[in-house]
Amino acid sequence: MARKLLLGNVHVEGINTYEVYRKHGGYSSVEKALKKMTPDEVVEEVKKSGLRGRGGAGFPTGLKWSFLAKPEGVPRYLVCNADESEPGTFKDRYLMEKIPHLLIEGMITASYALGANTSFIYIRGEYSWILFILEKAIAEAYDKGWLGKNIKGSGYDLDLYVNIGAGAYICGEETALLESLEGKRGNPRIKPPFPAVKGLWQCPTVVNNVETIAAVVPIVNDGGDEYAKIGIDKSTGTKLISASGNIRHPGVYEIELGMTVENFLYSDQWCGGMKNGKKLKALVPGGSSVPILPHYLVTKTAKGDQRLMTYESLADGGFESGSMLGSGGFIVYDEDQCIVRNTWNFSRFYAHESCGQCSPCREGTSWMEKVLHRLENGQGKMSDIDLLADVAKKIEGNTICPLGDAAAWPVSAAIRHFRDEFEWHVKDPQGCMQRNYGLAHVPIENQLINA
Partner 1 sequence: MHAVVTENGKPFKFSDATRKEVEAIIKRYPEGRGKSALLRALHLAQEENNGWLSVSAMDEVAATLGITPIEVYEVASFYSMYNLAPVGKYVLEFCHTGPCAIEGAEKIIEYTKLKLGIGKNQTTEDGLFTVKQVECLGACGYAPMMQVGEFFHEHLTEEKMDAFIEDCRAGKIDKGTWKMH
Ligand X SMILES: Cc1cc2nc3c(=O)[nH]c(=O)nc-3n(C[C@H](O)[C@H](O)[C@H](O)COP(=O)(O)O)c2cc1C
Whole-angstrom CA distances from 24 to 15, 101, 345 are 8, 11, 44
The helix/strand/coil state of 296 is helix
Whole-angstrom CA distances from 373 to 331, 369, 378, 413, 416 are 22, 6, 9, 17, 18
* Shortest spacing between CB 41 and partner 1, in angstroms: 29
- Contact between 81 and ligand X per CB under 6 A: yes
Taking the least distance from each CB to partner 1, the nearer of 45 and 86 is: 86
Stretch that binds ligand X, among 53-61, 193-201, 362-370, 416-424 (CB under 6 A): 53-61
Taken as a whole, the chain contains a residue count of 451
CA neighbor of 420 nearest in space, from 448, 392, 394 = 448
Catalog residues that contact ligand SF4 under the rule CB under 6 A: 170, 188, 354-358, 361-362, 399-401, 403-404
Residues 141-180: x where in contact with ligand X by CB under 6 A, - otherwise, as a string: -----------------------------x-xxx------
The helix/strand/coil state of 449 is helix
* Shortest spacing between CB 86 and partner 1, in angstroms: 7
Quote the CA–CA distance of 134 and 138 in Å, as a whole number. Answer: 6
Catalog residues that contact partner 1 under the rule CB under 8 A: 75, 84-90, 92-93, 118, 124-129, 132, 135-136, 159, 161, 163-169, 180-186, 201, 242-246, 250-252, 284, 288, 329, 331, 333, 337, 341-342, 345-346, 349, 352-353
Element (H, E) at 122: strand 118-123
- Contact between 209 and ligand X per CB under 6 A: yes
The helix/strand/coil state of 362 is helix
Quote the CA–CA distance of 262 and 398 in Å, as a whole number. Answer: 36
Q: Is 71 exposed, middle or buried (0-12, 13-18, 19+ CB in 10 A)?
A: exposed
Taking the least distance from each CB to partner 1, the nearer of 260 and 345 is: 345
The interface partner of residue 349, options being partner 1, ligand SF4, ligand X, none and the CB cut-off 5 to 8 Å by kind, is partner 1
Binding residue (CB under 6 A) for ligand X from 26, 50, 53, 286: 53
Element (H, E) at 160: strand 159-164
* Shortest spacing between CB 356 and ligand SF4, in angstroms: 5
Quote the CA–CA distance of 271 and 309 in Å, as a whole number. Answer: 13
- Contact between 67 and ligand X per CB under 6 A: no
The helix/strand/coil state of 378 is coil
Taking the least distance from each CB to ligand X, the nearer of 172 and 438 is: 172
Beta strands in 308-426 (DSSP E): 329-334
The interface partner of residue 95, options being ligand SF4, ligand X, partner 1, none and the CB cut-off 5 to 8 Å by kind, is none
- Contact between 57 and ligand X per CB under 6 A: yes
CB atoms under 10 Å from CB of 443, counted, come to 9
Quote the CA–CA distance of 104 and 110 in Å, as a whole number. Answer: 10
Taking the least distance from each CB to partner 1, the nearer of 18 and 349 is: 349
How big is the site for ligand X, counted in residues (CB under 6 A)? 23
The interface partner of residue 132, options being ligand SF4, ligand X, partner 1, none and the CB cut-off 5 to 8 Å by kind, is partner 1
* Shortest spacing between CB 408 and ligand SF4, in angstroms: 10
Taking the least distance from each CB to ligand SF4, the nearer of 5 and 176 is: 176
Return the DSSP state at 60: B
Binding residues for ligand X (CB under 6 A): 53-57, 59, 81, 83-86, 170, 172-174, 207-209, 212, 401-403, 406
